[in-house]
Amino acid sequence: MKFVDEAFIDIAAGDGGNGCVSFRHEKYKEFGGPNGGDGGRGGHVFAVADPNLNTLVDYRYSRRHEAKRGEHGMGSDMFGAAGTDITLKMPVGTIITDAETGEVLYELLTPGEVITIAKGGDGGFGNMRFKSAINRAPRQKTPGWPGEKKNLKLELKVLADVGLLGMPNAGKSTFITAVSNARPKIADYPFTTLHPNLGVVRVGPEQSFVVADIPGLIEGASEGAGLGHQFLRHLQRTRLLLHIVDLAPFDDAVDPVAQAKAIVNELKKYDSQLYNKPRWLVLNKLDMVPADEREARVKDFVKRFKWKGPVFEISALTREGCEPLIHAIFRHVQSEQRTENEPVEVDPRFAGDTPA
């Protein structure tokens, strides 16, 4: 399934029902008085963070979402019924912004979190509301208030602890397959990965972290070249970036150091905060380097790249060096984890099963 991480939708909460003008008419009741009821409120539009969803593809083909309006008031002191609410399921990590102003309105960060994104209009008053000592037979009523209408942009930033960076064919998909439960497409040509993949890496009982693999970057990605620029936003919420480098490219004319520097430059151009995130260097495909040349090649790369941070040497294909790396990642993620937020208060109507 194609990964869709942006969508535009129009939502409309229900209008409130109109108030009613009515008078009591009963046999032997000469002075019945007003009995017109109020209109019902319009239906609200809710959004719920559903952990079972990972794309916004449903909203690409279903753009308009309307809640029902409230019923009008009636005679005999009968108020109109409230309009039916609607609930939109969205993936965890969805950012909801105003499509016209660009203002961020809501963020769905907690599974099961429910927010009201459009409020229904209040119902109008019936004539019974206007009865007073000097106005015994009021004929006034008010119309229902309109519900909120919004044009929204939905943007999904996947929630992962670790993000993978690298040129096409650097071995990112092979790495995420080796260490997690993700099964992305793997082939010996560039741009095999066309959409982000998430994998859960289990270190021990109740000990795990999430890895995000995005399409490979090329020089000029921050200006729109290649595929990876579309998905750099998914790395903005990670706690750690793994810069995976192909230390044994098929083409001898390709310089791994130049490629690695190009990736770093693209990060810096795209987002300074992303550039300043903790970043580790992972030198991959050591199985393709003769054993007696590995140490010299690694030292040469680190020296020419002028790298001062952590360096890990692995072979994602044979899983050599992967075990120490994932344990180091887990320790880092644990140390970086923020204090748990207070539990989200969920509306009682949404307790239990996820709304449909």
Cα 22 → chain centroid: 50
Cα separation, 24 vs 26, in Å, equals: 6
| pLDDT at res. 267 | 78
**Do both 73 and 184 map to the same domain?**
no
Residue 352 belongs to a domain: no
| Residues in CB range of 348: below 8 A, 6 or more apart | none
**Do both 176 and 318 map to the same domain?**
yes
Last residue of a domain, one of 110, 126, 156: 156
| Residues in CB range of 2: below 8 A, 6 or more apart | 55, 57, 195
**Do both 326 and 207 map to the same domain?**
yes
User: Per-residue pLDDT tens for 347-356?
Assistant: 454 444 433 3
Cα separation, 311 vs 267, in Å, equals: 19
Instruction: State yes or no: pLDDT of 48 exceeds 60.
Output: yes
Range of weakest confidence among 10-19, 31-40, 182-191, 265-274: 182-191
Residue 149: pLDDT band by 50, 70, 90 thresholds? very high
**Do both 112 and 187 map to the same domain?**
no
Cα separation, 163 vs 168, in Å, equals: 15
**Do both 190 and 323 map to the same domain?**
yes
Percentage of the chain beyond pLDDT 90 is: 25
Residue 3: pLDDT band by 50, 70, 90 thresholds? very low
* CATH code for the domain of 56: 2.70.210.12
**Do both 73 and 170 map to the same domain?**
no
309 vs 186, higher pLDDT = 309
**Do both 103 and 233 map to the same domain?**
no
Range of weakest confidence among 8-12, 186-190, 192-196, 241-245: 186-190
Instruction: State yes or no: pLDDT of 221 exceeds 50.
Output: no
| pLDDT at res. 343 | 46
Instruction: State yes or no: pLDDT of 145 exceeds 90.
Output: yes
Residue 194: pLDDT band by 50, 70, 90 thresholds? very low
User: Partners of 155 in the beta sheet?
Assistant: 6, 95
Secondary structure (3-state) at 107: strand
Instruction: State yes or no: pLDDT of 201 exceeds 90.
Output: no
346 vs 124, higher pLDDT = 124
Residue 42: pLDDT band by 50, 70, 90 thresholds? very high
Residue 11 belongs to a domain: yes
| Residues in CB range of 116: below 8 A, 6 or more apart | 44, 45, 46
247 vs 349, higher pLDDT = 247
**Do both 138 and 251 map to the same domain?**
no
Residue 291 belongs to a domain: yes
Place of tokens 């693999």: 213
| pLDDT at res. 233 | 65
Phi and psi of 77, rounded to 5°? 60, 30
Residue 113 belongs to a domain: yes
Domain hosting 308: range is 162-336
Residue 300 belongs to a domain: yes
Range of weakest confidence among 105-109, 261-265, 294-298: 261-265
**Do both 277 and 139 map to the same domain?**
no
Secondary structure (3-state) at 262: helix
Instruction: State yes or no: pLDDT of 85 exceeds 80.
Output: yes
Per the structure, the count of domains in the chain is 2
Instruction: State yes or no: pLDDT of 103 exceeds 80.
Output: yes
| pLDDT at res. 195 | 54
* CATH code for the domain of 311: 3.40.50.300
**Do both 94 and 182 map to the same domain?**
no
28 vs 153, higher pLDDT = 153
Last residue of a domain, one of 141, 156, 171: 156
Residue 25 belongs to a domain: no
Instruction: State yes or no: pLDDT of 341 exceeds 60.
Output: no
**Do both 131 and 270 map to the same domain?**
no
Residue in 272, 269, 263 with CA at minimum distance from that of residue 219 = 263
Residue 206 belongs to a domain: yes
| pLDDT at res. 80 | 92
**Do both 37 and 138 map to the same domain?**
yes
Residue 344 belongs to a domain: no
| Residues in CB range of 350: below 8 A, 6 or more apart | 46, 48, 87, 112, 114
| pLDDT at res. 215 | 64
